[in-house]
Amino acid sequence: MHLSRRDGALDLLKWLALLSMVLDHLRYIGFSADWLYVPGRLAFPWFCLAMAANLARNGTRKMEWRYLGWLLLFSAVSEIPYRLYIADPDTLNVMPTLALGLLVARGGQDSSSLSRLLAAAALVAATVFSERLMFGFFGVLLPLAMLLVFRHPWYFGLLPSLICLAANQWQVLLESARFGNRVAILGLAICLLAPMLGMFLLRHGRHLQSPPMRRWAYALYPAHFLMLLAVRQVIT
């Protein structure tokens, strides 16, 4: 799949991922809204897909250290707002998972010694610190799985679907779904469908126009925690 220099569908995918993330985090604002868990399952796989699309467009050119640097910077910047808003979180914010995922995906794309070494180190870190990473070990693998879809037949789309499900506490979802929990049932469905829905948008939405999402968008991640925290203080 060819991606143009400024792809409207890719920008739209990023905005939709951001929207679904905000909807997911509204569950912690102070009122009962467990159903928001369902659209929230779109956010992480679509951010991973956007990362894979950027890597596919970049090809095997030199690793963009600036890209990794922004992820690492906002991994640190976002942690305090994240912990202020999410009470007693079990994991770090999502940025470290994306940073490790970038290294793994790049290592799968580039055969240079440095890229492969960094990918191996990222996999070791994901294994050792899986319980501290949001979406765990499988979350780190998801960008690579998404990247493979760009270079292989359509049925490779099943791989990121399964990895996305594994990254989303599939045991808990399956157990709840067995007892008829609608949120769990829909959550399972979204985890499986999210990668394919995102790919469908990228393949068939090139004519769409969307405001470009540039590097300033990294700041939206910690900023949205602070904004939601302020709203919670007002309504509670």
Q: Which residues contact 69 (CB under 8 A, 6 or more apart)?
A: none
Say what the pLDDT of residue 60 is: 57
pLDDT tens digits, one per residue of 63-90 = 668 889 999 999 999 999 999 999 899 9
Percent of the chain clearing pLDDT 70 (strictly above)? 94
pLDDT tens digits along 185-195: 999 999 999 99
